[in-house]
Structure 1
Amino acid sequence: MSTITSVYTGNLRTQATHNASGNQIITDAPLDNNGRGEAFSPSDLTCASLGSCMMTIMGIVAERNNISLEGTKMEITKIMVPEPRRIGEVVIDFYMPAGATYTDKEKAMLENAAKTCPVALSLHPEIKQTVKFIY
């Protein structure tokens, strides 16, 4: 059975359904590529997937080691390049919870977890991944 079913609904828009849960995501082409920009673009989702994967794997490591991540926030910046049009760089800034203290070992575990998540390892090596942790 497939994981996702997606339908082209016209006007450069798709609607994807996660088959197991029924959750849906709508995508639009971005304004700078003939679209309306009213929803995530497919390349936005790639960047969001990278950040979400990083945070999820960090969460798994944190739970195993009794480290609190609640309140961690990330900001993701997508940088496109022309010829061919593609994602050139994804910049992710992690803002760790205010007042939280982490040992150097904990920081290393969390940062390694983020940088070795499945999506990070799946993206083409020409896509630069710039990741910063603000403690």
Structure 2
Amino acid sequence: MVSINASIGTEPYRIDIKSPTGNVVIADEPLEKGGQDKGFSPKELLASSLGACTCATVRMYAERKTWLLEKINVSVDLIEEEGQTKFIRKIELVGNLDDSQRTRLLNVANACPIHKILTHTIVVETALV
């Protein structure tokens, strides 16, 4: 289980997000939505989760295989249109890799935990405390 705490005071719309281990991320809304643009927007955080998970998962696999992967660059666009949310993910693998290794790493990227979460049924349960 992953657990975070998010809180907002009176400063528009700064949100402090804290992990149980003490890590802190600031989220905010862009200026055009009344925020101060001091952090990632909530949608940017969502897209960032996919990018970060992709990078970590591919890196772990390549290290386990001792493949010569120097760098992984991932860009993620989150597009909402016609009642659908679409993530466009582009992965650049920098290093001395053959075509079969590149194909395998693409398959690994598609199996990262956040990819799996986003492509399976999601349930959000909400309660007031």
TM-score of the superposition, structure 2-length normalised? Answer: 0.76
Deviation at 1:39, TM superposition (A): 1.4
Deviation at 1:7, TM superposition (A): 1.5
If asked which structure has higher relative contact order (CA below 8 Å, sep 6+), I would say: 1
Q: Deviations over 1:20-61 (max 9, x none)?
A: 1x2210111234544333310111111010011111111121
1:89 lines up with 2:92 in the alignment: no
| Aligned residues: CA RMSD | 2.6
- Secondary structure of 1:3 counterpart: coil
Contact 1:28 1:37 in 2 (8 A): yes
Unaligned runs of 5+ in 2: 121-129
**What is the aligned partner in structure 2 of residue 68 from structure 1?**
68
TM-score of the superposition, structure 1-length normalised? Answer: 0.73
**What is the aligned partner in structure 2 of residue 29 from structure 1?**
29
Pairs within 5 Å for 1:1-135: 3-10=3-10, 11-20=12-21, 22-81=22-81, 88-97=85-94, 100-124=95-119
Identity %: 26
Deviation at 1:73, TM superposition (A): 1.8
Distance in 2 (CA, whole Å) between partners of 1:104 and 1:46 is 30
